[in-house]
Structures are given as C-alpha cells and as structure tokens.
C-alpha cells in the first residue's frame, strides 16, 4: 500500500531519500549538521579553483578565463592556507556552537516521503530568491552608512548629539562586521566566507532562516545549501568560466558582477540575482 502511494509521487527522489534516511538518520538529526555541512561544502567546492590557480601560471587558456579588471595575480597557496585556518577557527569557536543551539530548538523528525521534483524545484527557487532579498538588505545596510549619516546630519533632528550617536551606530556595521571581508580586494573562491565571525554566522542563519520560512523538505534544503554555496564560491573565484551559471541564467550576476563590488566597495549588493540592484539604482556594470 505504501509502495503504491509513493511510486507515482517521485520514484527517483523517494528511493534516494529512503536510502539516505536509512543510512544517515542520526547525522540528519544532528544539531551540528548545518555548520559542518556548510563548512565542508564550501571547502570542497572551492578546491577546484585552487587547482585553477595553480594552472594559471602555466596554461594560457586558464589565464584567459581570469578576470582582468582588478583581479591581479592568482592567490598563493599560502594565502589559501591562511584563509582555511581562519575559517576553521571561526566555525569551531562561533558558528558551530551557535547553530547547534538554534538547531536543537527545531522539531527532530524526518518526513517519510521525498519531495516531488516540482516541489524540490519550487522550494529551492523560493529559498534562493528569499535569501537574495534578505541578504541584499543586510549587505546594503552595512555599506550605505555614509548616506544615512549625511541624511541624519542634514535634517539635524534633536541637535548634534543625535547625529553623533547615529553616525557611530551606522559606521559600526561596516567597520566591525563587514570590513574584514573587503580586505580581499582581489577575491578568490575560499575567501567567499572569509568574514568576521558575526557575519559568517549571520550568513548561515539567513540561509537556514530562508529554508525554514519556505518550509523546505530536508532534501530541498540540502540542495538549496549546495547551490547557495556554489554561487558564493563562483562569485568570488576570480574567473569568468565558459560554463558559469550566469551565462546559462542571465538573471544571475556572476563573478564579474561581484568582483566589481569588491573593486569599488559599492554597488552590486545582491549576492546572486541582479533585479534588486537594478530596482534600487545600485547596479554597477562589470
């Protein structure tokens, strides 16, 4: 009876989901899974670009993919290793314990049925659009402090004291949370997550929160985090690859789009799609 119910639902995904549940149910219910999965995904997806950086010095074809404007020379293995150590330290000391506490508050139960292919597509797409929106707002708020300060100063509400307090509060966001990430004027794949511990934690929580708000099936959530991590790595890789996703989906910005943000420290605030930057007049041509 159960087989008759599940077979028309999604035979391929149901078989995959049942095998994953049977072999790794304890892992799937672990409070440490989100941070561990996020870290391992990021490192594994970044690894091919370490190979590209090594080949860049000897292969003309690979060099032709390197983004010329502001990209500079490829990062050395030492920079990769230093970045890896910083990421590992921040995950172990901040991201892992914080997300474990939050994850422990969720209901520890796995659904029996897998999502249909259409449900998986809709849920992953909704998560990407939602994350892109909330991160655009968060990213813009960290960068646009100068405009906010000028606005408050010009209207002079409640005198100079209010202006000074507002200036301190707004500037703090960029100086203490986001500025560390912009030390990479020439980004590379692994540096996509090389941020302050608070920003790194906020990125993971925004991604998890997007999946929770959409009400994702665990399988859809896993695919969302996979695509989310790949897009972050590709945006920071420093290469305009022939089969990059933005060439297949023009609604995506791609590596050139995000590298313009690192070069100018403004504009192109959305992580993946370009519609918010077009709507708010913050789009910078790459």
| Residue 106 DSSP SS3 | coil
* Residue 74, pLDDT score: 76
**Mean local confidence (pLDDT), 70-74:** 61
pLDDT in tens, 245-261: 888 888 999 999 998 88
Q: What is the mean pLDDT of residues 88-111?
A: 90
Mean pLDDT to the nearest integer, 59-82? 81
Give the integer Cα–Cα distance in Å for 23 and 26: 8
- pLDDT above 70 covers a percentage of the chain that reads 84
The domain in which residue 208 lies consists of 28-106+118-280
Q: State the average pLDDT over residues 264-273.
A: 89
Q: What is the pLDDT of residue 147?
A: 44
Contact call for residues 56 and 75 (beta carbons, < 8 A): no
Q: Is residue 6 part of a domain?
A: no
| Phi, psi dihedral angles at 239 (to 5 degrees) | -125, 140
Give CA–CA dist 248/245, Å, rounded. 5
Q: Residue 203 pLDDT more than 90? A: yes
Supply the pTM of this predicted model: 0.84
Q: How many domains does the chain have?
A: 1
> How far is Cα 236 from Cα 201, in angstroms, rounded to an integer?
19
**Mean pLDDT, range 189-212, rounded to an integer:** 94
Establish if 52 belongs to a structural domain: yes
Handedness of CA 181, 199, 100, 93 (dihedral sign): positive
Report the distance separating Cα 256 and Cα 241, nearest Å: 10
pLDDT of residue 5: 45
Percent of the chain with pLDDT over 90: 54
113 in any annotated domain: no
Q: Is residue 95 part of a domain?
A: yes
Please give the average per-residue pLDDT across 16-27, as a whole number: 90
Q: Is the pLDDT of residue 61 over 80?
A: yes
In-domain check, residue 19: no
Is residue 134 domain-resident?
A: yes
- The per-residue pLDDT for 160 is 47
- Residue 145's pLDDT is 57
Least confident of 51-65, 133-147, 181-195, 196-210: 133-147
Q: Which of 87-91, 203-207, 266-270 has the lowest mean pLDDT?
A: 266-270
C-alpha span between 272 and 253 (Å, rounded): 6
Q: Is 8 within a domain?
A: no
Q: Specify the pLDDT at position 144.
A: 76
Query: Helices 197-214 and 33-56 sit at what angle, rounded to 10 degrees?
Result: 120
**pLDDT of 111 above 50:** yes
The mean predicted confidence, pLDDT, of the chain is 84
Q: Using CA atoms, how far apart are residues 191 and 6, in angstroms rounded to an integer? A: 43
In a domain, 56, yes or no: yes
């Amino acid at each position: 009876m159960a087989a008759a119910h599940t077979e028309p639902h999604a035979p391929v995904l149901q078989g995959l989901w049942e095998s994953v549940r049977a072999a790794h149910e304890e892992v799937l219910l672990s409070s440490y899974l989100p941070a561990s999965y996020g870290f391992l995904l990021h490192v594994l997806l970044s690894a091919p670009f370490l190979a590209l950086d090594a080949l860049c010095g000897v292969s003309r074809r690979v060099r032709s993919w390197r983004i010329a404007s502001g990209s500079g020379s490829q990062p050395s293995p030492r920079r990769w290793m230093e970045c890896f150590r910083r990421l590992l330290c921040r995950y172990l000391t901040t991201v892992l314990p914080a997300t474990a506490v939050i994850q422990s508050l969720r209901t520890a139960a796995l659904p029996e049925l897998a999502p249909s292919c259409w449900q998986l597509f809709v849920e992953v797409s909704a998560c990407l659009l939602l994350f892109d929106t909330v991160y655009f707002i968060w990213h813009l708020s960290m960068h646009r402090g100068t405009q906010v300060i000028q606005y408050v100063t010009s209207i002079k509400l409640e005198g100079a004291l209010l202006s000074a307090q507002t200036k301190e509060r707004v500037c703090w966001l960029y100086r203490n949370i986001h500025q560390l990430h912009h030390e990479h004027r020439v980004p590379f794949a692994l540096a996509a997550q090389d941020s302050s511990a608070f920003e790194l934690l906020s990125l993971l929580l925004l991604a998890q929160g997007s999946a929770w708000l959409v009400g994702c099936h665990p399988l859809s959530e896993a695919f969302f985090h996979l695509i989310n991590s790949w897009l972050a790595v590709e945006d920071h890789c420093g290469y305009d690859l022939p089969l990059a996703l933005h060439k297949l989906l023009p609604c995506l910005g791609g590596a050139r789009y995000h590298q313009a943000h690192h070069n100018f420290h403004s504009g192109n605030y959305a992580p993946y799609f370009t519609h918010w930057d077009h709507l708010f007049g913050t789009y910078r041509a790459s």
